[in-house]
A and B are shown apart, each in its own frame.
Chain A
Amino acid sequence: MKLFKNVRNGFIEMVFGPRWTYIATVRTFLQNFLSITLADNKWADVISMAASELLENAVKYASEEGTKISVEHSKDEAKLYLNVENFATPENSKVLAGEIEKISTGDPQEVYLQKMQEAALRTDGGSQLGLARIRYESNAAINMVVEGDLIRVTVIFDLK
């Protein structure tokens, strides 16, 4: 993790092993951090929920130890960037890219409802609801970058 100078935006970065039990702690910490950083507590709740969903995916599907989460609040743009990075197999990266593409096209509510109907029929223990839920509850943009076996999912919340 790099330490840098001249930080203009509210910023936090955490690295932890992909252990399910840490997720609630990170969620609670972020909720508290964002309550201070943002004027609106509702955004703190929504963003910490989104972080929790992304971290659950990271822990479930990571191929190696290590998960990084960072949050940057750009006051000038009135945007908040939530990034989660983890290692993944090429197969899981491809599945995730397909999911992001699917949920990013179409009306967030309709996409979420469709994913809920699909979830009712799933028997594999997964829900595949997290990303659609994030988009529906926040109207945020979700994108993903792959660098080798490292993937970074970014959720961009428009706080205006």
Chain B
Amino acid sequence: MNKFGLSSVITEKATVELLDIPQGVKVTFSGDIDVQNPEPIFVPFFEQIHSNVIANGVKYVELDFSKLTFLNSSGIKTLIKWITKVTPLPADQKYNFKIIANSQITWQETSLKMLSMLAPGLIEIQIQ
């Protein structure tokens, strides 16, 4: 469990879990996200995290994709929707993302790098 009391999202092939870390919170993605319409599954979870992060003054969110083997473009869209919620926030509510990518999973370096371009200055990417 985590400080926001949010349960993990578990689908047939993927798990997305929120964890507390000293700097803020960490979201871990594992498995394959390839459902036809991931929005009703993941967007409410991301919105809850976003609201709690702002309400609690958290300034750091780590997105760890190192165990996510596949992400379809509809899944990418759910992340875009989250990230683009942060850019228009006033400075005192803005928070930073760090994306952890796995260099052994080909799509991650290219696709996740593009996410960082959506919010320049707010997203750091670490490829390991």
Minimum CB–CB distance from B125 to chain A (whole Å) comes to 15
- With a cutoff of 8 Å between Cβ atoms, the chain B residues found around residue A41 in the complex are 106
Contact status B72-A137, CB under 8 Å: no
- With a cutoff of 8 Å between Cβ atoms, the chain B residues found around residue A113 in the complex are 114, 117-118
* A72 CB within 8 Å of chain B: no
Q: Which label, helix, strand, loop or mixed, suits the secondary structure of the B interface?
A: helix
* B3 CB within 8 Å of chain A: no
CA A118 to CA B117, docked complex, whole Å: 14
CA A75 to CA B121, docked complex, whole Å: 43
A-facing residues in B1-55 (Cβ within 8 Å) = 13, 32, 34-37, 39
- With a cutoff of 8 Å between Cβ atoms, the chain A residues found around residue B111 in the complex are 133, 137
Contact status B110-A136, CB under 8 Å: yes
Q: Looking at the complex, which of B58-66, B73-81, B90-98 is the stretch in contact with chain A?
A: B73-81
Contact status B84-A120, CB under 8 Å: yes
Interface residues on B, range: 20 to 34
* Closest partner residue, chain A, to B82 (CB atom): A120
- With a cutoff of 8 Å between Cβ atoms, the chain A residues found around residue B117 in the complex are 113
Q: Contacts A116-B80, A127-B73; is A23 near B34 (CB within 8 Å)?
A: yes
27 chain-A/chain-B pairs, Cβ below 8 angstroms: A20-B35, A24-B32, A24-B70, A27-B34, A45-B105, A45-B106, A49-B107, A52-B34, A53-B72, A56-B36, A56-B73, A60-B36, A113-B117, A113-B118, A116-B115, A117-B84, A117-B118, A119-B76, A120-B118, A125-B37, A125-B39, A127-B74, A127-B77, A129-B73, A129-B74, A136-B114, A137-B110
